[in-house]
Amino acid sequence: MKIGFIGAGKMAQAIISGLDKEKFEVYISSRDFEKTRIIAKNLGVNQAKDNIELAKFVDIVIMSVKPQVMPKVLSEVKDYLEGKLMLSIAAGLTLENLADLTSKQLEIVRIMPNINATIKESTTAICPNELVIDTNLEIAKEIFSSIGQIFQIEEKDFSTFSAIAGSSPAFIYIFIDALSRAGVLHGMPKDLATEIVASTVSASANMLAQSGENPWSLVDKVSSPGGTTVEGIVSLEENRFVASVIDAVTKTIEKDKRL
Ligand SMILES: NC(=O)C1=CN([C@@H]2O[C@H](COP(=O)(O)OP(=O)(O)OC[C@H]3O[C@@H](n4cnc5c(N)ncnc54)[C@H](O)[C@@H]3O)[C@@H](O)[C@H]2O)C=CC1
Ligand SMILES: O=C(O)[C@@H]1CCC=N1
């Protein structure tokens, strides 16, 4: 099966590097032919001459350009998408927006992956329009299951998913960096502190999943009465940690809805 990515930036490269190249024949096209040639070579995939050649040639097109560029690129390729399946990973663009920019007859699946696709651990939302036939939905699910865990969700929840799974790796990296910087403040080398924190964050997420407990009950298990952890928790509360995180997510959702 031939899959074509229009846009070969950070996210397309993350998805492609996780994909099984034996199963999917991958083509890419992007703005800068020379840069794209190097990307194609590094990823071990094929390069199309331009967006139109790619759209003509492949069975499935994955739109991977920035939301602001989507209208221009879709107007270029829409006449070549008839009878094909189009997937879009663009933040903020609804299935209705995407049909308005292409065709009301086109099978479209809206997708929201995250950067962890690079290591086949994306957390990906998926939502088809009403035209998508079952076999094509299964193909879309197969592509994104091969690079992580998928959640088929209602489109009304896409902006929220985009914030808590699409953008949240950035928030989590900031948290990891803050913890390791604190280690540096207290005399530890940065690389060592970061390795320690990354291991702890990863194991804490696994612990949550495997124990079946809710986060607060695990917080209570870590906090000994009169002990050290509760001092830190009170300080986080004094500095509005939870409220700050919720504000950040709300701001992210609002921006997604404005795109
Ligand atoms: N970066 C992330 O973690 C995530 C990004 N997304 C979505 O993925 C999409 C791409 O984002 P990134 O990869 O981060 O951006 P990026 O800026 O790294 O990549 C955009 C790509 O589009 C190409 N491009 C620009 N104009 C073009 C044109 N006219 N024709 C063909 N290609 C063109 C650029 O050359 C570049 O390769 C966005 O819509 C974003 O909302 C979704 C989930 C996560
Ligand atoms: O920052 C962005 O717009 C994209 C959407 C989700 C993650 N990155």
2 φ, ψ (degrees, to nearest 5): -95, 125
* pLDDT band, very low/low/confident/very high, at 195 (cuts 50, 70, 90): very high
Backbone angles phi, psi at 221, to 5 degrees: -70, -30
Confidence (pLDDT) at 20: 87
Instruction: Flag whether pLDDT at 62 surpasses 90.
Output: yes
pTM of the model: 0.94
- Render 76-128 in DSSP notation, one character per residue: HHGGG-TTSEEEE--TT--HHHHHHHS-TT-EEEEEE--GGGGGT-EEEEEEE
User: Is residue 4 very low, low, confident or very high in pLDDT (cuts 50, 70, 90)?
Assistant: very high
Is there a single domain that holds both residue 120 and residue 19? yes
The mean of the pLDDT values for the chain is 97
Cα–Cα distance for residue pair 8/1, rounded to 1 Å: 19
Chain position carrying tokens 């992007």: 30
Residue 30 CB-density burial (10 A; 0-12 exposed, 13-18 middle, 19+ buried): buried
**Does 41 belong to an annotated binding site?**
no
Residue whose CA lies nearest to ligand 1 atom number 5: 11
> Among 103, 126, 153, which residue terminates a domain?
153
The predicted-structure confidence for 118-141, as pLDDT tens digits, reads as follows 999 999 999 999 999 999 999 999
Given this model, what pLDDT does residue 105 score? 96
Instruction: Identify the domain boundary among 103, 120, 153.
Output: 153
Q: What was the pLDDT predicted at 200?
A: 98
Total number of residues shown for the chain: 259
Asked whether the predicted pLDDT for residue 162 surpasses 90, the reply is yes
Q: What is the domain range of residue 227?
A: 161-258
DSSP string, 19-72: S-TTT-EEEEE-S-HHHHHHHHHHHT-EE-SSHHHHHHH-SEEEE-S-GGGHHH
Confidence at 253, pLDDT banded by 50, 70, 90? very high
Ligand that lies nearest to the alpha carbon of residue 65, given by its number in the listed order: 1
Q: Show the ligand 2 pocket: residues with CB < 6 angstroms.
A: 91, 162, 166-167
- Residue-level pLDDT at 153: 98
CATH number of residue 57's parent domain? 3.40.50.720
6 lies in the same domain as 133: yes
Q: Is 63 annotated as a binding residue?
A: no
